[in-house]
Structure 1
Amino acid sequence: MSERLIPYQPMDLAEPAALVAAIRQRRGGQFINLDRMLLHSTPIAEGWNHFIGEIRNNLSLDPKLRELAMCGVAVLNGAEYEFFHHAPPFIKAGGTEEQVQALRLIGQASFPATLFTSVEQDAVELTLQMTRHIKVDGDVMKRLQAALGNTITVELVSVVAAYNMVSRFLIALDINPEEHPPE
């Protein structure tokens, strides 16, 4: 195994104390490798913890749609770390193991869309279009807005945008999954 170009910060990092405590609180007490990389820059780690904390914990968006979008971004960008961390919450939010396996086929002709509701299919299409092409077909946006309303549609778009940022950070810095995903 080769040495990391930029090493992870240690698991027992104590400073900056307030930021370390806030991240540990959001994570249930333990850092994940993403946190350990972010903590090389206090301003980035602070902003990330606040922004992603809001995305993860304070939206009106249904958690299943949120995690579906996160898993979709992960697959499309080849960010296994992201998928590793978001497939379990997708299942916890009502997804099935069959749907998790289907999500690995997003963007392929063999994607089994019939395993998902029409709104979930539109969320998958939004994720695909935003991630691969940036621009989203107006009909997809109209269907989502009609089904979800303005606030939740904006939140869904924000989740896809935010997790595209996450995947790019993970891949560029070669951040690897931990042995077990956090609960």
Structure 2
Amino acid sequence: MPNIPYRDELDTEAEALAERIRARRGGVLLNLDRMLLHHPYLTAGWTELFLRIRAGQHISDRHRELGILAVGSLTGARYELHHHKAPFLAGGGTEEQYAAVVDSVPAAIANADLFDAAERAILTLALESTRDVALSPETVGAVRSHFPEPAQFLELLMSIASYNFAARILVGLGIEIEAETP
């Protein structure tokens, strides 16, 4: 059950933003949107940030989504896991990889049969960033060996950090997966 109600009645400011969100989402608002629309000013900034993160320019969708899934698993953000499965699979990830990350990020990091070195570096980056905030020199070195351009490293780290932010909102507000909403 959510910690505050989903917003369905929208004033003029919220409705204008909701229309832009609906246009991007094929005519629907997700529960996340319905919750965020309690504060249209902040939601406008949130929407812009996540549009830019998801558009990416320097890393693949598969790599970005792998980091996002790791964050969802580590933080218990089921909503994040649910909504990022399809983009991960569409980007070239596998059902087996998805299941392994959801089950245990540390075990996934150790699984060289299922994840290549670049993927394991991303998972380690997500683990350290989520749990410890600080990154070890070994992790930075491993990530940089596969993503040598500064923009690549920054995009990976910003994706992971942004979805840690999202996870804290999703879990903190108790946002439900749409199929589970009464």
Taking structure 2 as the reference length, what is the TM-score of the superposition? 0.90
> Whole-Å Cα distance in 1 between the matches of residues 108 and 155 of structure 2?
28
Match of 1:22 in 2: 20
Q: Residues 39-95 of structure 1, C-alpha deviation per residue, up to 9 Å, x if partnerless?
A: 000111100010011111243221001100110000000010100000111011000
2:166 maps to amino acid: V
Cα distance, 1:126–1:151 mapped onto 2, change above 3 Å: same
Structure 1 residue 83 corresponds to structure 2 residue 111 = no
Number of aligned pairs? 177
Could you say which residue in structure 2 is the equivalent of 1:140? 139
Tell me if the contact between 2:31 and 2:178 (Cα under 8 Å) persists in the aligned partners.
Answer: yes
| 1:51 equivalent in alignment to 2:76 | no
| Distance (Å, rounded) in 1 between the aligned partners of 2:37 and 2:101 | 31
Q: Alpha carbon RMSD of aligned pairs, Å?
A: 1.9
Q: Write out aligned runs for 1:1-183 (5 A).
A: 4-10=2-8, 13=10, 15-16=12-13, 17-109=15-107, 113-114=111-112, 115-148=114-147, 149-179=149-179
Deviation at 1:25, TM superposition (A): 2.2
**Matched residues in 1 for 2:143 and 2:29: separation?**
35
Deviation at 1:156, TM superposition (A): 0.2
Instruction: Indicate conservation of the 8 Å contact 2:109/2:123, yes or no.
Output: no
Q: Residue 112 and residue 97 in structure 1: after superposition, are their counterparts in 2 closer, same or farther (change >3 A)? A: farther
Task: Verify the 8 A CA contact 2:70 2:105 in the aligned structure 1.
Answer: no
In structure 2, the gaps of 5 or more residues are none
TM norm structure 1: 0.89
Deviation of 1:150 (Å): 0.9
In the TM superposition, what is the alpha-carbon distance from 1:144 to its structure 2 partner?
Answer: 1.6
Taking only the aligned residue pairs, the percentage that are identical comes to 35
